[in-house]
Structure 1
Amino acid sequence: MSRFMKTLATMAAGLALSASIASPAAAQANDQFVSILSFRVGPYGPSGVGIYGGFIDYMQYVNMKEGGIGGIKFSWEECETEYQAAKGVECYERLKTKSPTKGSIIHPVSTPISYALLEKTLADKVPLVMTGYGRTDTVDGRYFPWAFPLITTYPMQATAIIKYIAQKEKGDLRGKKITYLYLDSAYGKEPITYLQAEAKVNGFELNTVPIAPPGNEQGAQWQQVRQNKADWVIFWGFGVMNQTALKAAQKVGYPRDKMIGSWWAGSEEDTVPAGDAAKGYLSAAMNVSGKNVPLVADIEKVVYGAGKGNLQDKSKIGSINHNRGIVIGILTAEAVRVGQQKYGKKVLSGEELRWALEHLNLSDARLKELGATGLMPAVKTSCMDHEGSGKIKIQQWDGTKWNVVSDWIDGNRQLVRPLLEESAKQFGKEKNITPRDCSKES
């Protein structure tokens, strides 16, 4: 704990560091190139450091452990966006030409940037991967063939949280008051329609309270929470907003064990700086923390043992964000593996990678083979389903570490899917897109 606190206190010195520690040079003709639109500086930088560290560590691990996939090694280039949409577009335009086959996969790790790139990647035929973020109706591959919100989306996460709250309330939410406290951005607004639908179905009162970015001013909003006498708070924060919220909740006397954050508000970077104010706090999780996952332990042994790890601060190995980056790496590598099974052991093109991302089958058995059992849920995609899972766990901060307090919880698919399909259909109508016939896709 104390070591992590010291780490966070000195983090500013390392945030501007690029991925030069382990990043190969520009793509070669025999490399599978990956564009990394990173944010290691700015208000969200502390999260980005772990995420991109884990992502790059996994690609480095595959290169070192297997010699690449089918003899094809990964290369990558990182471009700093500071989580800003305009800079994200600039980085995309610069990196998209780096692959000899246009076979790059774009990982913005940013809802605003992914929105800005949605139509560009469609026009350029570059796969846009949004692992646990981004525009949610892109789950419908009929209208969004090049966009992949993998693992689970904000509506599925939000409705899974409602399921967990219902379990804690003995299955009855009638008359309960739930406040949705959110970052006033595309990210924060995504779940609102679905929470409103849940409120109608389950008979609870929903209060929506926005917080202006970056979220370091929240006093008035927490006064609203107290005045509304909220039974539960669903918290959709990111970056500095998260630790600020935990301290504000403590100040107004709101119990942290009645406060459930999104997975972007559930990392050590959110809880450690809040100190005692974070104890008991709950959050969603699309991946677990810890080095007890065999794959994470092996990455530390193989990559960091050889001095090629991307994290300057090794205490972050196995943290929520580092493990999340590893998950992004797994999805990327498995897409390449699936693509090679169909197209051969070569550098894959954008079209070939798009097909592979639509045919992922990361079963529990495959996760066990990777040493990643329990790290993430199983993922199986298709033309109709670019999400592939829809499940989360709930975790709780005990003052020093995250503990998982639920099994995998599926979101309310029956409620969410029709709304997503209607939204996708409307997008297709506005953009004059003829939907694909998924029955003919194979």
Structure 2
Amino acid sequence: MMGGLITGSQALAEPFKVGVCYDLSKAYTFASPQVSQAAMDLAKLVNLKGGIGGEPVEVIVRDHGNEPQRGIECYSKLSREGVFVFDTLSTPVSLAILPRAMEDGRVLMQSLVGRGDAVDGTVFDWVYPVGPTYWGQAANDVAYLKQLHDGDLSDVKVGFVYFDYPFGQEPIEILETLSEKEGFDLELYPVPLPGSDQASVWSKVRRDKPDHVIVWMLGGAHVVASKEMQRNRIPMDKYISVNWLNEVDIANIGNEAAIGLKRGTNVVGGLDVPLRQEILAELYEKGEGSGPLEKTEDVFYNTGLAMYSIVFEAARKAVELEGLPITPESYKAGLETLKDFDANGLMAPITVTGEDHGGGGKTRIEMWDGETWVPQTDWISAYSDVVWDVVKESSEKYGQ
């Protein structure tokens, strides 16, 4: 079951609409089809069970091609059609929409993208980056390394390999702060876009001999990195990826070659997730799935299920609190009552408040063992004081 997402089988009324303005054609197609397919599947399952408070849900998917202006057009058009909950799965588009959503009183969900400081609900009152920011993910990676080294990082060297543009650069400030705090050496290795040429980076890594390498790249760049590591005889178990590494990447690296590789994640990988199993039984086995079955066999599909479980659970909470119809204000209140919600074991538990719109920022480290992902830690949220210092410093500048 879905952790209380459904309230009954009353006659369906006007739909609760979610605007899914995604890049389905350009930069983020390694993840956006799986996430949007999960959103549509979950909406179908909710409606099969009578909707939320007797009201159906509708996921409206549009392509913005990762272009801010097209994203604004998507937001504006759907706003006119009564949509007040949006997700973009794109940092450039989220940044473009954010001031409009704040002014209009629309809810902007931005899990895993957008401004890291938007977790500060005292400033960004209509923005909800539920899940870990890149700052929090990087801090949790350092906590894992500290665990490996029995609580002492003073003689440890950590490399940071990253796309040399804002997504990749974002964790640097946190890593530098933690380097000073914990005493580890930090070496930076910028990778020029699109990440197809990494030869000089990994040659330098070979010479510098870091004990661990935290990696902030996407898609095929992981495959390029793995080949360069093999060429330079760098063990794969040094590699800790940001959450954007999936089963397609593993298959392209090779199941055996990828053994030891690690990633940070806020969702459970694999095929045995209860919600996914329910969707297979209720939709795919009856020919009602929203896309190819193979897309559901991917951690990014699970990521989509997690994101939209949050979206629909907040709607259910809104109905509990204030009844129908769901309004922007009641939906916002619903979000801020979510406590230890994990969608029946699908993801790290989240607790959203008026002050913390990120939900707590928990992740865990998983390692590929040749067949599956094996957790190496519990769900953790480390160095929250350091992360929130950076959040507050940045959000206060925005507020001014």
| Structure 1 and Structure 2 fold alike (TM over 0.5) | yes
Amino acid paired to 2:299: I
1:266-277 matches, within 5 Å, as 266-275=245-254, 276-277=256-257
Decide which of 67, 90, 98 is 2:50's aligned counterpart: 67
- Measured in 2, the distance between the counterparts of 1:31 and 1:325 equals 20
The structure-2 alpha-carbon separation of the partners of 1:60 and 1:272, relative to structure 1 and needing over 3 Å to count, comes to: same
Is 1:207 paired with 2:187? yes
| Alignment RMSD | 1.9
Task: Render the CA deviation track for 1:233-292: whole Å, top value 9, x for unaligned.
Answer: 10011122222222222222221111100111x211222111244222100011011232
Cα deviations by residue, 1:87-124 (Å, 9 ceiling, x for unpaired) = 3333323333222xxx4311111222222222121122
Residue 326 of structure 1: how far off its partner (Å) = 0.4
**One-letter code of the match for 2:41?**
D
Aligned positions of 1:233-312 closer than 5 A? 233-264=213-244, 266-275=245-254, 276-312=256-292
Does 2:310 correspond to 1:331? yes
One-letter amino acid matched to 1:50: Q
Report if aligned partners of 1:256, 1:279 keep a CA contact under 8 Å in 2.
yes
Hey, what does 1:383 align to over in structure 2? 354
Kept in 1: contact 2:36–2:61 (CA 8 A): no
CA distance in 2, matches of 1:207, 1:86: 37
SS in 2 for 1:207: strand
**Paired residue secondary structure (1:395):** strand
- Does residue 361 (structure 1) correspond to residue 330 (structure 2)? The answer is no
Q: Is the 8 A contact 1:55 1:327 kept in 2?
A: no
Match of 1:15 in 2: none
Aligned with residue 151 of structure 2, among 167, 171, 175: 171
Any conservation in 1 of the 2:21–2:74 contact (CA below 8 Å)?
yes
Which of 51, 54, 65 is equivalent to 2:38? 54
Alpha-carbon shift at residue 85 of structure 1 (Å) = 3.4
Q: Hey, what's the Cα distance between the residues in 1 that align with 2:189 and 2:70?
A: 29
Contact 1:296 / 1:318 at 8 angstroms: preserved in 2? no
Contact 1:214 1:240 in 2 (8 A): no
Secondary structure at the counterpart of residue 206 of structure 1: strand
Pick closer, same or farther for the CA change 1:93–1:183 going to 2, 3 Å.
Answer: farther
Q: In the alignment, is residue 37 of structure 1 matched against residue 8 of structure 2?
A: no
Separation in structure 2 between the aligned mates of residue 98 and residue 131 of structure 1, nearest angstrom: 24
Equivalent in the alignment of 1:411: 382
Matched, 1:108 2:79: no
Shift of 1:43: 4.3
Change over 3 Å in CA distance of 1:40–1:247 after alignment to 2: farther
Give the conservation status (yes or no) of the 8 Å contact 2:13–2:54.
no
Aligned length: 388
Unmatched 5+ residue regions in structure 2? 1-11
Distance (whole Å) between structure 1 residues aligned to residue 259 and residue 70 of structure 2: 36
Q: Is the 8 A contact 1:30 1:72 kept in 2?
A: yes
- 1:376 & 1:358 partners in 2: Cα distance? 18
CA deviations on 1:271-315 (whole Å, 9 max, x unpaired) are 211124422210001101123222211111012123221222x13
Cα offset for 1:29? 7.9
Q: Is the 8 A contact 1:71 1:345 kept in 2?
A: no
1:318, distance to aligned residue in structure 2 (A): 4.2
* Cα displacement string for residues 342-392 of structure 1 (whole angstroms, at most 9, x for unaligned residues): 22032x2223322322332244xxx4xx5x22x212111111111112111
Q: Give SS of 2:363's match.
A: strand
Contact kept? 2:340, 2:350, Cα under 8 Å: yes
- Structure 2 distance, partners of 1:80, 1:238, is 20
2:139 paired with 1:159: yes
8 Å Cα contact 2:39/2:59 also seen in 1 = no
User: Tell me, what secondary structure is at the counterpart of 1:133?
Assistant: coil
Label 1:83 to 1:224 Cα distance change in 2 as closer, same or farther (>3 A): farther
Counterpart check, 1:139 vs 2:122:
no
Deviations 1:54-80 (A, max 9, x none): 12211111111x211001111122111
Q: Residue 78 of structure 2: which of 90, 95, 119 is its match?
A: 95
What's the counterpart of residue 77 of structure 1? 60
Does residue 120 (structure 1) correspond to residue 100 (structure 2)? The answer is yes
Q: For residue 403 of structure 1, report the CA deviation from its aligned partner.
A: 2.2
Unpaired segments ≥5 residues, structure 1: 1-27, 430-442
The secondary structure found in structure 2 opposite 1:181 is strand
Q: Distance in 1 between matches of 2:193 and 2:70?
A: 17
For 2:13 and 2:47, locate their aligned partners in 1 and report how far apart those are by CA, in whole Å. Answer: 16
Which moved further from structure 2: 217-226 or 252-261? 217-226
Task: Report the CA distance between 1:425 and its aligned residue.
Answer: 1.1
Letter in structure 2 aligned against 1:337 = R
Query: Is the partner of 2:359 in helix, strand or coil?
Result: coil
